[in-house]
Amino acid sequence: MTVENTPQDRIAAVAAAQKTFFRSGATLPEAFRRRMLRRLEEALCTWEKPLCEALWADLHKSCEEAYLTEISIIRGEVHNHLRHLHRWMRPRRRPTPLKLFPASSRIVTEPLGTALIVAPWNYPVQLLLNPLVGAISAGCTAVLKPSPYTPHVAEAIGRIVAETFPEEYIAVVQGNRDVNTLLLAERWDLIFFTGSPALGRIVMAAAAEHLTPVILELGGKSPCIVDRGADIDVAARRIAWGKTLNAGQTCIAPDYLLIHAEVSERFTEAYAKALKSLHGDDAQQSPHYVRMVNDRAFERVTGYLEEGKILLGGRTDRADRYIEPTLLAEADPAAPVMREEIFGPVLPMQTFQNTDEAVAFVTEREKPLALYYFGDRSTAKRVLRRTSSGGACINDTIMHIANDRLPFGGVGNSGMGRYHGRDSYDAFSHRRGVVATPTWIDPPFRYAPYRFFKWVKGIL
């Protein structure tokens, strides 16, 4: 199945219609935003089964994993916005200095306008519709661009949006990177992009032409540190789960393992047991083990298997796009497997002798989207203080994304901007400072010829 490119004139017409609709003020009332959020939730309920079937067709993703990692996250986000929208929309009073007497000050939020949301293929439902919640909540219109690499999901999303929202409010544009180029040539009020750092640079360069603000949710190599104070069995189980979720095709998956030399052998044994517990003796037969998205991804990830010593796994099946969960040792730190984002179930492992060595290894590289540390709390605090990452977990992996009260986003090479919960509302909003000055008094000291300037200078 392939996705047909939306023609250029169609893209231009949709963008123009949305700008007109936004300027009409229809999206501004709270009641409208709430109604649209409820429509989205109802659509998710109605389309849950077709979405799960599409995810299975494109990624071999089970219904359970599809609901946990895609649909439930969006529904939770909708509930959070419905619960707090009134408070978020309310103007916030701010103190006013004496020099502005008798004025008052407040912050009001206003929608940025028409947003472009571009999603990747690895979580093609969540990473497209979760940002949409923020756009709806903030009062924006939005054009959605699904990934062509998950065509069944893209087709389902197109039908869902067409049946749920008027096109001048929310619309879907389909196609490959040529369509991305056409979309980026349009003028938007915000571009929300999730993908690789390389593509993020292209998006940012295009946005610069119109000084369009961007939110870039990128990726990178997220380190996982296992210190000698860690509970090895728990660490192995949680790392195995985080690394094999979606077959490692997760932007916040543990990308490489730094482990204290004293516990490396114990961890290898525990990791093997954890993988067997999660996926059985043969992960290829597990209904919960995802496949590589396409042949190109399969070839790229299997290439990493030659760059180290395979301790566990390593079996592949090109016809099925299957790669067995693999633990890799003795990889050169300069090798691609240690420099490039893997985006697959291969976990390279490096040993260290002390925590400072592990911290130095992390900080010498680009800032990652996530950092995971397993060990005692006091050392964990020191590691977090000396490193930088978009998000982090202590004695766990992945789970920081599950708390919609926490901001999610990258830093440096792993992205800019953040969303989830209130941060999603803010991402699509402008915080407008307003000073209101009454006319019952008009102090003369601010006007030329600046009488009483010595007195005025004292309060400035």
Question: Of 77, 217, 324, 341, which residue is the catalytic one?
Answer: 217
- Residue 284 · residue 317 · CB < 8 Å: yes
CA angle 452, 455, 457 (to 5 degrees): 105
Q: 398-407 long-range CB contacts below 8 Å, 24 or more apart? A: 398/241, 398/242, 398/245, 398/250, 398/252, 398/253, 398/370, 400/252, 400/370, 401/73, 401/252, 402/73, 404/73, 404/76, 404/77, 404/80, 405/80
Summarize pLDDT for 225-251 with one digit per residue, the tens: 999 999 999 999 999 999 999 999 999
- Quick one: pLDDT at residue 443? 82
The HSE-up count of residue 183 (CA atoms within 13 Å, CB side) is 31
Helix (H) or strand (E) holding 363: helix 355-363
- Quick one: pLDDT at residue 445? 78
Helix (H) or strand (E) holding 108: strand 104-111
Residue 393 is a catalytic residue:
no
Phi, psi dihedrals of residue 408, rounded to the nearest 5°: -125, 130
Q: What is the mean pLDDT of residues 94-105?
A: 91
Summarize pLDDT for 168-210 with one digit per residue, the tens: 999 999 999 999 999 999 999 999 999 999 999 999 999 999 9
- Percent of the chain surpassing pLDDT 70: 100
Give CA–CA dist 14/20, Å, rounded.
Answer: 10
How distant is the alpha carbon of residue 45 from its chain centre? 23
- Residue 233 · residue 268 · CB < 8 Å: no
Residue 134 has pLDDT above 80, yes or no: yes
Helix (H) or strand (E) holding 11: helix 8-23
Residues 394-408 as b or e (16 or more Cβ within 10 Å = b):
bbbbbebbeebeebb
Give CA–CA dist 64/341, Å, rounded.
Answer: 26
Phi, psi dihedrals of residue 47, rounded to the nearest 5°: -100, 15
Q: Which of 15, 58, 407 is nearest to 217 (CA)?
A: 407
- Quick one: pLDDT at residue 452? 72
Higher pLDDT, 205 or 100: 205
What is the torsion angle, in degrees rounded to the nearest 10, for the CA atoms of residue 37, residue 40, residue 46 and residue 49?
Answer: -130
- Quick one: pLDDT at residue 430? 97
Question: Of 224, 251, 324, 393, which residue is the catalytic one?
Answer: 251
Give CA–CA dist 25/386, Å, rounded.
Answer: 47
Residue 451 has pLDDT above 80, yes or no: no
Q: What is the pTM of this model?
A: 0.94
Q: What is the mean pLDDT of the chain?
A: 96
- Quick one: pLDDT at residue 459? 72
387-to-63, 107, 367 alpha-carbon distances in Å: 37, 34, 8
Beta strands 223-226; 370-374: pairing state: parallel
Residue 423 has which token pair? 């941060």
Residue 446 has pLDDT above 90, yes or no: no
Q: At what angle do helices 126-138 and 30-46 cross, to 10 degrees?
A: 160
- Quick one: pLDDT at residue 350? 97
- Percent of the chain surpassing pLDDT 90: 93
Give CA–CA dist 231/234, Å, rounded.
Answer: 6
Q: At what angle do helices 232-244 and 264-279 cross, to 10 degrees?
A: 50
Q: How many CB atoms lie within 10 A of CB 155?
A: 19
Q: What is the mean pLDDT of residues 431-438?
A: 95
Summarize pLDDT for 245-295 with one digit per residue, the tens: 999 999 999 999 999 999 999 999 999 999 999 999 999 999 999 999 999
Residue 77 is a catalytic residue:
no
- List, in order, residues 6 or more apart from 251 with CB less than 8 Å away: 120, 122, 194, 217, 218, 219, 369
- Residue 67 · residue 48 · CB < 8 Å: yes
Q: Which residue has the tokens 């203080």?
A: 385
Q: What is the mean pLDDT of residues 333-360?
A: 96
Summarize pLDDT for 136-145 with one digit per residue, the tens: 999 999 999 9
